[in-house]
Structure formats: structure tokens, C-alpha cells
Chain A
Amino acid sequence: MTDVGNSPRFSTRGLALSVALALLVGLAIGFGVSRLAAPSTPADDSAAAGFARDMSTHHAQAVAMGMIAAKKGLAPEVRTLGEDIALTQQGQIGIMSQWLRDWSLNLNSSAKPMAWMPDGDKSALNGNLMPGMATPQEMTALENASGKTVDTLFLEMMIKHHLGGVHMVDAVLTATDDPDVLWLAKGMKTRQTLEISEMQKLQTTLAKR
């Protein structure tokens, strides 16, 4: 080493400082990256956000149907099922609304219903009505029905409604990796699939009653 004066003291102090500096920079980068990466939430045009909005609308109609069945279904099974569906789906609307709040997204969007769906199944849309949703006329018919007609109409309409709902759930399951969305969507699929077969059995049972 030609540089006699720079040898022992530099290597001790300089090395220590370099290490400390490297640590600090490393920490800062790591800290920053983790903070930026960890809470990244779904965007306004994401499938998760679209699902939260559209499924809330879809659910709201199921709540309406379920309440009618709970109040004036003839068969006790229909009343119980209506109450179960209405309360469950209203609770799920609350969960989905809170996602949007947590993500700082608006509950309202100018996007068309189901615009988020990756398979582009817009043909199933009837105006603003998503797959399985009843028309205003069908809803009025259910509201004005009485006796056994309530049970018949409710089971028909809710089976169709659930089938449409499961179709939308399938779409979001392939389009998001948000753990909360996956959790609720899987829960919906399991439950509604079960209820579809339950309602189909009930149709057979009630036809004989």
C-alpha cells in the first residue's frame, strides 16, 4: 500500500460506518417497500370492487324475496329459509360495503353491471338486472301473492337467483386474489349451492303436500 497514512484507522472506522449506512439504507428500503406492498388494495375497476358493488345489488333483491317468504310463506320451511337468506345476505352486503370503505372506493360506479366479469358475459344482463335477478313485474307478483303461490313463486325465483349468484361468484373466484373476497365468495358458493338443492327438494315435497 503506497498510502501509508490511510491504512489502519480508515479500515476500522470507515468499515463500521459503511456497514451502519448499508444497514440504514437497507432498512429504509425494506420498510418502504413493505409498507407500499402490503396494504395494496383492489382498484376501482378491479373485479373485487365490481363484485362487491354488483353482488350487493344482487343480494338486496334476495333480501327482498327472503323477507316476503319469511313473512307470508305458507310452508314453515319456506318461511325459515326466507328468513335465513334475508338475514345472511343483508349481513354480507354489510361486509362488502365495508370492503369498499376500507379500500377508499365509492359504493357507486359509473361502470355497467358486471363490467368487471372476465368472461364478458354481458348477454345475461337485462337492463340493470344481473343474472338470476327478477324483473319488477316478477317482484310485484311475489309481493301480491298469497298462500301456496308465495311458496311456489319464491322457490322458483330464488333458485334462479342463486344460480345467477353462483355464476357471478365463479367469475370473481378466478379474477381476484384478495383473501377476504375469496373467503366470502367461497362461502357464498358453498351455501347457495346447498340451498339450491334444498329448494329443489322442497319443490318436490311441497308439490305432494
Chain B
Amino acid sequence: MSISTPGGENRPGLVKVGGKPAAGAKPGTKTTTGGTGGKTPPKSGGPRKPITPIKVNQGRNWGPIAMFVAVGVIAVGIIGWGAWAAFKPGGAGYDWETRAGGISGINHVTTELKSNHTYNPEKYEQSPPVGGTHSYVWQQCMGNVYDAPIPNEHAVHSLEHGAVWITYRSDLPADQVAALAAKVEGKEMMLMSPVVNLDKPISLQAWSYQLKVDNASDSRIDDFIGALRVNATQEPGAVCSGGNTATGDKPLTEEQVAALQQQQQG
């Protein structure tokens, strides 16, 4: 590639080849100076055809190369910056919803789940429930392992706070109950209780999510806890301490809650 300007004989970068005689030297005429004309005169007579100058690149044309390289560097820089902005860690948080959605067999309830408070017993769409109107008081979910059924109305309040509630059918073998309890004990935002007429041996609940499995060794249990514990909260920053620790099948009445609070006040 070459960008040339008309420059005639003096144009730098061009060299003429072909032994043009020095100005004034007539071809075919012997000169005494022994100059460019040489000692061998051309055989043909008459005026010689002018020889077209041949361009020879002396080095490269740096201008255009530099321009293209610069444009390339800028383009790469822009692409790099964009890629970094798109993939940089930080600020976006952990994508727990995608992780939860990828668990085989998980049920995500996308219809509206109410968060109202009540003292009344509630009927729930799902069994065990994964959300909806619930008791004023949450069930304590500081890694509590309850050995008897707990009222749904309290457990749903725990789900709202971000807890994962492990339930199991009352006939689940003791070793499997122990394996589940090991995932719960000492871990806040976890609670566990038996459910009498559960349709599957084990059912896991988080707010708006449910997974039913047959065995405590199912690896999806850890996947469910990992994706949803705390992350599924409807009240970021909420706690699991305090609350109700009693088991039973009916939620605490207004009077019972008052009595519980009296006891908690000492």
C-alpha cells in the first residue's frame, strides 16, 4: 500500500533504475568523462524511450499502520471495558433465584402469597404451606428441631423471615430424621418438624418454594437450603430468635400470645 504524491524526480522514497544518463549526456555519444553514460552505447539509435520510474518501498508507511493499530487498540479497550462492566463481581448479589429454579422437581409458587397477620387458623393452598396469611408470632427458627408438629400459621411467619422449614412424615426412619436434624441444629434460619399426613416422606419449604423428596440422602436437600435459606426472605434483616417454641396443631390465640409475651418479659 502506498500513498503517493506527485513528486517528480526529487520525490523521496523513489529511486529510478535503468541507468539514466546524466543530464546532458547524449546516448550514443562517447564522452570523455566516462560518466553514467557508460562505455557501452546503446545499439539502437535514436532517442531512448523514457523509463517509467519504479517505486520501491523504503521501509513501511507507518502512518496508516499506526492509525489502524490505534483504532484497534481503542476498539479492544471498549470491548474490554464493556465485558468487564457486564461480568464484574460486586453489587449484583448472588443469583439464588436461578440456582433455585435449577433444582429438579422444585415447585415455585408464583401466585400472590399474602403476608397479613392473624390469630385465626388459616387454610393454605399448599401442604405444607409456603406462604400466605399467618400468625403475628413466628415459630422460633434458630435451628430448632421440633419433635412434634407445629402450627402452620407460625411456621409460615418463619418462612417470611427467610427460614427454610424441613418437614418429614411421622414414619420417616430415625436415621433419616437424624440426618435431617444435623442440617438444622445450631443453624439459624432453619427449623424442622414432623407433619402427620405428608404426601411424601420429606418436604422442604421456603417462602414460595417447595421441594418434596423421598430420602434424607437426596442431594437436592442441600441445594434447596443453599439456594433459599435467608435468600428467600420477605423481610431482609429479620430474625429467628424469640417467637413461639410450643408445638401443636392450632396457632396461639390472642390470649396465649399475651401469656407467652408475659412469660418472655419475666
Binding site for B on A (CB under 8 A): 3-7, 9-10, 13-14, 17-18, 20-21, 24-25, 28, 31-32, 35-36, 39, 41, 57, 60-61, 63-64, 67-68, 71-74, 90, 93-94, 97, 100-110, 126-129, 133, 136, 139-140, 143, 146-147, 150
Contact = CB atoms under 8 A, between A and B. Distances in A.
A23 to B, nearest CB: 10
Given A24-B73, A108-B225, A108-B230, A9 B12 contact: yes
B142 A127 contact: no
A31 B82 CA distance: 13
B120 to A, nearest CB: 26
A53 to B, nearest CB: 10
A181 B22 CA distance: 85
Nearest to A91: B237
Nearest to A57: B188
A38 to B, nearest CB: 10
B40 interface: no
Contacts of B70: 17, 20-21, 24
Interface stretch (B85-93, B104-112, B150-158, B210-218): B85-93
B187 A57 contact: yes
A10 B89 contact: no
Given A28-B73, A71-B265, A150-B266, A39 B12 contact: no
Given A28-B73, A41-B90, A139-B142, 11 more contacts: A3-B58, A6-B12, A21-B66, A103-B89, A104-B94, A106-B226, A108-B229, A108-B230, A127-B185, A127-B186, A128-B143
Contacts of A4: 12
Nearest to B92: A104
Contacts of A133: 186
A124 B153 CA distance: 37
Interface stretch (B45-53, B122-130, B238-246): B238-246
A143 B245 contact: yes
A39 B88 contact: yes
Interface of A is mostly: helix
A35 B91 contact: no
A67 B99 CA distance: 34
A63 B81 CA distance: 44
A39 B245 CA distance: 44
B142 A64 contact: yes
Given A4-B12, A71-B266, A72-B265, A107 B59 contact: no
A10 B38 CA distance: 35
Contact of B186 (A108, A129, A147): A129
A107 B94 contact: yes
B259 interface: no
B178 to A, nearest CB: 11
A40 to B, nearest CB: 8
Nearest to A15: B62
B265 to A, nearest CB: 5
A35 B73 CA distance: 17
A72 B225 contact: no
A17 B89 CA distance: 37
Given A60-B188, A136-B143, A136-B144, A104 B90 contact: yes
